[in-house]
Structure 1
Amino acid sequence: MDNDKQDIINQMLSQLTDSAKHNREVYSKVAKHLDEGQKAGVNLSVNQMTKGIMEIYKDKETEELTALDVACGTGRCAVALRNEGWLGPIDGLDGCHEMLEVAKTKNVYRTQYHEMISLETPLSLEKSSYDLITCFGGLSFGHIPHDCLEMLMGLLVSGGILVFSYSDYTNPGSTVQYKKSLEEKIEKLKTEYEIIKTVKDESYYPRADLTKMMGVVNIAYIRKP
């Protein structure tokens, strides 16, 4: 990708706000070029998350297990999970049709769901139907509300695992408040669920100044009893 296209994508992504509807429109415009245009650090962080998943499942056969990739975008996380050795079916869910169209070309999802996650609109998916749920980048300001964590946990079978990333923002603004509220929610989950581990990943941002401003990426692994 030439620098001009890269700059255009970066400018569009910088327009993301607290409005999920607006953000969906932004993603629809960059969907076809997102994989090519996003920084290499995204791949490194996704790979670290999926490696962590397969470490947990290293002694289990995954052929009969089902996974759901939430805020799946273009399918980056599912491809990484498959490359790490996950053998069971993977479904994808995203609110942006254009992103799902790109994901479809990768033939990694059994079923794709075009749905938004919010407290006001129930999902069409059945509760207690997945062994694993992944969500890379979806739990962030202007995307999935932090109060929807319990909704995602409800989609898991007993013993199922939710794995998600969130940024350790240090810049001022609503992003900091989102992170604070999300971590408070995670703390409350400890009374009902097992927090297997949390990992900090400093490879997401390609430059030290960006890491200093935006913080590192946290990856949380939570098991439903």
Structure 2
Amino acid sequence: MLRLVPLVALSLAAAAPAQEAPGYSFRDRTRALAFDAGRFFAATPEPMIAIRSDGDTFGLPLYALALRPGCNPADPAAPRADCSRRIVARMVRAILPAAATERHLRGQRLFTALEQARPGDDDALRRTLDSAGLEWVEADVRQCAPAMAHLARLQEVRFVLSLDLDRPIFEMTSHADQIRVAVHHGLVRSRYQGWAKPGTAGAWASDFAKSLEGCWKPATAPVPWRVVVK
């Protein structure tokens, strides 16, 4: 069974973005405290791969995912055998309401809870996130065959779109999920931000997250909003 932080009763009636108290943006701070992949591995502020999906309507985060190779020194309970071959993935996401099929309801549900609580500082926000029903999971990628097969295709991914200067640049999409991808390998860093257009890093990242379904288990590390960043 996946680990769920205790769930509070939430209303899905409000489809508009949550209103914030003057001087404190709980929306921005939620992205920083809960959906920043740099907090997923305490000893690794820049993971090998970081992915965040911001949904399609009001930019409400659906999930954030990070990968780290080897053993994490900040996880004393982690097995140390064969560290050089380990690849650990961690994800945080708001749970999907029962019988719901629209993925963006994950973010809407979370920010409805925040609107009801109206946290005015980080301490209050952390307490709200503790009871907001966020799912915090991890997976051993090498033990997840679909994810490993998908990871092997990363070298074929385009982070920069090819431009045809003889054709109009304008492109229309309807309710396309926005996704951010960052890959850190040695001295090379590659980033993509945009919709999950087929053939791009955005599409690869979206499919990679899907490939890990069935391989997640409850994470043993502290939830990211409770991690102390030095």
Please say which structure displays the higher CA radius of gyration. 2
Q: Provide the TM-score with structure 1 as the length reference.
A: 0.25
Specify which structure has the bigger relative contact order, considering alpha-carbon pairs within 8 angstroms and separated by 6 or more residues: 2
Q: Provide the TM-score with structure 2 as the length reference.
A: 0.24
